Amino acid sequence: MLLADIGDTGYNIILLLHILAMFVAFSPAFVHPFIENDTQGMGDARQRIFTGIASRGMKIYGSALIVGGLLGFGVAGMSKAPGTDELVYSVSDSWVWPAVVLWLAMNGVLHGMILKGEKGLAAGDDSAAKTVALGGQLITVMFLVTMYLMVFKPGA
């Protein structure tokens, strides 16, 4: 197992990549509701916009969410206290395992609701906007709870 002191270059690189991947993964949750609202009544133009969004959803946002979460495991797996071989973070920690469960749930919402709904919008099904909106709200709440867990580390 590759261990690195918290704050070492290797650890910081993995942590930075984890944070950057998550920024990419969650950017649509903040931007797409505005696009959805602003394109209502635009007909074919709306459909073309959502065709572009849907074609990139899994390639960019879905992949970033998966890679970002896996890098989070790397952050936990590499974290050792300076001068020891003991891990600082473990999946058994009271704040880590809920974050893992939320990450899995976010993947389900992204792939099962948001990306599927965006494909529906791209196909001209305006009723899919409700699914996208609900998925966006759910994933935003889960993201905020996960951020709370990672910043405040309750129970640590």
Per-residue pLDDT of the chain (156 residues; tens, 9 = 90+): 456 778 888 889 999 999 999 999 999 888 888 998 899 889 899 899 999 999 998 899 999 999 999 999 989 888 888 878 788 888 788 999 999 999 999 999 999 999 999 999 999 998 999 999 999 999 999 999 999 999 999 987
Q: Are 129 and 113 in contact (CB under 8 A)?
A: no
| Residue 35 covered by a domain | yes
Any residues with CB less than 8 A from the CB of 64 and at least 6 apart, and which? 21, 22, 24, 25
Domain count, the chain: 1
Angle of CA points 92, 98, 100, to nearest 5°: 85
Please check whether residue 156 lies inside any domain of the structure.
Answer: no
In a domain, 9, yes or no: yes
Query: Would residue 144 count as lying in a domain?
Result: yes
134: in domain: yes
Cβ atoms < 10 Å from Cβ of 115:
20
Residue 29's domain spans which residues?
A: 4-151
Pick from 73, 95, 92: nearest CA to 145: 95
**Model confidence, pTM:** 0.88
